[in-house]
Structure 1
């Protein structure tokens, strides 16, 4: 029995998705919610007009796939105008759905609009894939090769972008397809991309893995740098390193029982468990060994050569004026922000810093992939880490404010934190217990007790956003590490004076370390070098 190629499986997956979306929409339109299948569809809330529009596009895509046969051409050849119209209508459906996102807080957004956006994206992906020439068993005739339906080879980046937007913006919603379908499609697309780089068949992409010294991958999708003198790990340079003044209590590879005892038997019953630095706790993670995240070529191999989209924060800190967010490719994040020297291009020259303080401004803005659920977007990287056993213990509630406690989580919440030197997470607290794992580089962390909350000067609502878990105090400015981004008034001078006397503990996280941050503890985090961390929230 001949095993189906990744390309063949991907085309079959797309054909099935188009058929399924069409049938689901038709069921909703013909039977309404009295039909059992219709009643279980989240699309029902979008209304018949949009469901009908989605159904017609799904039918068009399904007809283009037809039955899987060697020619694989559309059953009825579409003109360029007809193809453009299908893509425009799919984009229109996604735009209408996305406009609804602004009418609700994301947690209150009806799932119908998220699924509508996701299904439109799936159909766009499937339709775009049709413009990719097949090879091997599913090849076109010589006259068609390389230009099915009169189009050039599809851009891999456009395929990836379509599904990444569905993940990032809409949460890949949908019980029948949704995230499961998207994850599988991206997995098969990656295999086909690697096969194409080898010349083994699959799909012919116009943007193959780059064969140059610039950040690249080899034909196996693994890290490769053709310049032997070119560095293949992130820089460990630290422009500035704050002193550790009041070290956090430290332990070595604590057992589960010892960690539970640390929480159950605190030194101060009123305060509860205190922060704990656990050295060498994750030394066996693949991300520190067999599949090292400190190697940019490995990270590129897991992101289609850097073409996956990621959301980043632009600016020194999320409380600074001018701070913003945008979506960029992972490759742009690496080459333009994380470690520009890796690309072989010259970074903008900067005057040497003659003081013990870090530069207050840089030629390039700081970009930070911060608190992003990267591992639901990139399951391959999720396989490189392990949820620490400590996250399955029974921690105590908030020591001073029960209203902060959240409903119990079924599983820990995982988020990635990846950025260059100088990234700052301002002084804040979290509604969960937190284990922060350091995988690449070093970070400075300072923590203040929840008993000192009054001296943290919490923010209120700002621009309609609740900021009560974030302090008005800028630790870097107070310590003289950073230039104040504002003119201090008399009130802020008084609050800073009171804050300076507040006791704290601090540490520098090294690769392989875990830092336990109890619920309610205020913490300030500063990237010292290129840094990649993972936070695990649990309760």
Structure 2
């Protein structure tokens, strides 16, 4: 088994038909080799005293952990150096070292992660996040040597050489999981490597994965019901006919009683004029639906997010990890969070027909694995920093570069000016709920897939919203005790609901004026700072919010 390197004469001689694949494999190998060496060099520099400790340095983690990390990096560096030699035997070189090195790296990851619980995340010393990230990078680079993604496994006749796969027993899910956990849990910290390195590594891995998958079958977005497979973990698409688009079924649709003003797409100047010329000087501009504002986004045209096959193609057939909320609403008892693969999220919660046809997937789709009536929501997640490919499918609306007014009633809510808008993804099945709350920024909420119901209350009636305050040590003052779905009779009263409003409270709340709407794909809703809003998914729904000030 030999490595495919740019200078290898064997590469040009024996595999002239796979130059693109060869190039990407070589890029990934060399990219990882440089990172491993850089981590070793940084550790050695700290241990020798040549590096002056700073906030982003590993030095704050202590010499014992840095020495342990350095020793693992040194062993992995040796492996990469020796594997550059032709005819090197992978089994002879690495089998004795692999389990011990991986165990040490997992120990480092576990120790660094334990520190996350000793601080609020904003106060967590960067060194622990970088240690987690660098150990994860080493683990990825080492496991990569047991995958098909840096070796040439394609025989001349295009068939898979199974003998060469026997040693490549690290599947795509383990490689992706390692880096995704670094992104989600540690924010992929580090000045020299960090998020930029992780995103680039995943990009190169994705290129190789797509080429190898396409080479032995059909393109991943157009697969037949059955196809040949690599000696890999099963993917969500294997043996599965995927529906063209997500279902538009709406189990329940609330009536719109007090419609929000709707206009066709505005220019940036027209929107600024709307902000500057409010009819109510005390309140400021009112909510506004801008129809067709995002119709030209790739997410609605060339790269449609309403097609499961496209989203799967951008997530390694669903192997990317995402954090989701489990439960009807984050204020309900029993609500929780967990990290799952994107494929599991789709098959277990978005479209259960995917689960029924999934066959031998590594996702547990038995009835015992799903709670009856469970709802999951990918909510307020910075998905686009984790998946830059999806970020390319959307555009920041020009409206986010206007100058909006301050909070109309509470100047203490105004935040320092943002350099760029804050983007969050909201993706879930029918019935997802974001309870009545208010945010410290102006918001452009864009609807990409499906429909959502929203109800908004003016900041002038804040006292009648019955803000929650601090609960279990968490400040919940931006969230109301009033459950709009329960008050309107759309939802049952939770059995364990605490601080239940009295009948007098409910009657009083029903008299509070509000605005409401149903957002359609292509719509953008302007939610001014301070406005309380309740959000309910009516069908499978994918939205993107843009906070700005």
**Alignment correspondent of 2:341:** 329
Question: How many residues are treated as equivalent by the alignment?
Answer: 504
Q: Secondary structure at the match of 2:522?
A: coil
Matched, 1:24 2:42: yes
Report the counterpart of residue 537 of structure 1 in structure 2: 547
Which position in structure 2 is the counterpart of 1:154?
170
Which residue does 2:418 correspond to in 1? 409
Partner of 2:296: 284
- Give CA deviations for 1:364-401 in whole Å, capped at 9, x if unaligned: 30000000000011111001000000000011111111
Distance 1:75 1:243, change over 3 A: closer
Alignment of 1:62-141 (within 5 A): 62-66=77-81, 68-71=84-87, 77-80=93-96, 82-133=97-148, 134-136=150-152
Corresponding position of 2:224: none
Is 1:269 aligned with 2:285? no
- C-alpha spacing 1:161/1:434, structure 2 compared with 1 (3 Å): same
2:408 maps to: 399
C-alpha deviations, 1:34-73, integer Å up to 9, x for none? Answer: 4xxx658521111111111111111111111115344465
Maintained 8 Å contact 1:70/1:137: no
Offset from partner CA, 1:391-443 (integer Å, 9 cap, x none):
00011111111111111111001000000000000000011100000000000
* Structure 2 residue matching 1:159: 3-state secondary structure: helix
Cα distance change, pair 503–87 in 1 and its aligned pair in 2 (3 A): same
User: Displacement, 1:94?
Assistant: 0.7
SS of the aligned residue for 1:5 comes to helix
Q: Assess if the C-alpha contact under 8 Å between 1:455 and 1:495 holds in 2.
A: no
Q: Distance in 2 between matches of 1:209 and 1:327?
A: 18
Structure 1, residues 271-306: CA drift from partner, whole Å, max 9, x if none?
Answer: 111100000111111101111000000000000000
C-alpha separation in 2, matches of 1:53 and 1:212? 41
Q: CA separation in 1, counterparts of 2:308 and 2:252?
A: 23
Task: Quote the residue 1:197 is aligned against.
Answer: 213
Cα gap change, 1:88 to 1:135, in 2 (>3 Å):
closer
Q: Pick one of 286, 302, 320 that aligns with 1:308.
A: 320
Tell me the alpha carbon deviations over residues 252-289 of structure 1, each in whole angstroms, 9 at most, x when there is no partner. 00111111111111111111111000001111111011
What's 2:14 paired with?
Answer: none
Q: For residue 32 of structure 2, what is the aligned residue in structure 1?
A: 14
Tell whether 2:377 aligns with 1:374. no
Q: Residue 433 of structure 1 corresponds to which residue in structure 2?
A: 442
Q: Tell me the CA shift for residue 74 of structure 1.
A: 5.9
2:195 maps to 1:183: no
TM-score (norm 2): 0.87
Indicate the residue corresponding to 2:3 in structure 1.
none
> Which one of 493, 498, 505 corresponds to residue 515 of structure 2?
505
In the alignment, which residue of structure 2 is the partner of 1:474? 483
Give the CA deviation at 1:320.
0.2
Structure 1 counterpart of 2:536, from 519, 526, 529 = 526
**TM-score, length-scaled by structure 1:** 0.88
Q: Which residue among 375, 379, 385 is the counterpart of 2:394?
A: 385
Distance 2:237 2:446 in 1: 34
* Matches of 1:281 and 1:449, distance apart in 2: 24
- Given that 2:482 and 2:501 are in contact with CA atoms closer than 8 Å, whether structure 1 keeps it comes out as no
Question: Aligned in 2, Cα 1:525/1:25: closer, same or farther, shift over 3 Å?
Answer: same
Query: 1:456: Cα distance to partner?
Result: 0.4
**Deviation for aligned residue 1:494:** 2.6
The answer to whether the Cα contact below 8 Å between 1:235 and 1:529 also exists between their aligned partners in 2 is yes
| Structure 1: gaps of 5 or more residues | 215-224, 350-361
Tell me if structure 1 keeps the 8 A contact 2:235–2:318. no
Q: Rate the CA distance shift 1:25–1:516 in 2: closer, same or farther, 3 A.
A: same
Query: Runs of at least 4 residues of structure 1 off by over 6 A?
Result: 346-349, 487-490
| Distance 1:95-1:458 versus aligned 2 partners, 3 A rule | same
Give the distance between the partners of 1:348 and 1:50, measured in 2 at CA.
Answer: 42
Please give the residue correspondences for 1:417-456 in structure 2 after superposition, counting only pairs within 5 Å: 417-456=426-465
3-state secondary structure, aligned to 1:199: helix
CA separation in 2, counterparts of 1:432 and 1:376?
A: 20
- In structure 2, the partner of 1:353 is none
RMSD: 2.6
SS of 1:537's partner is strand
Q: 2:506 aligns with which of 496, 502, 512?
A: 496
State the 1:197 CA deviation: 1.1
Residue 184 of structure 2: which of 168, 176, 197 is its match? 168
Tell me, in whole angstroms, the C-alpha distance in 2 between the residues paired with 1:198 and 1:491: 58
CA distance in 2, matches of 1:466, 1:211: 42
Q: Deviations over 1:471-506 (max 9, x none)?
A: 001000000000011468785333222211110000
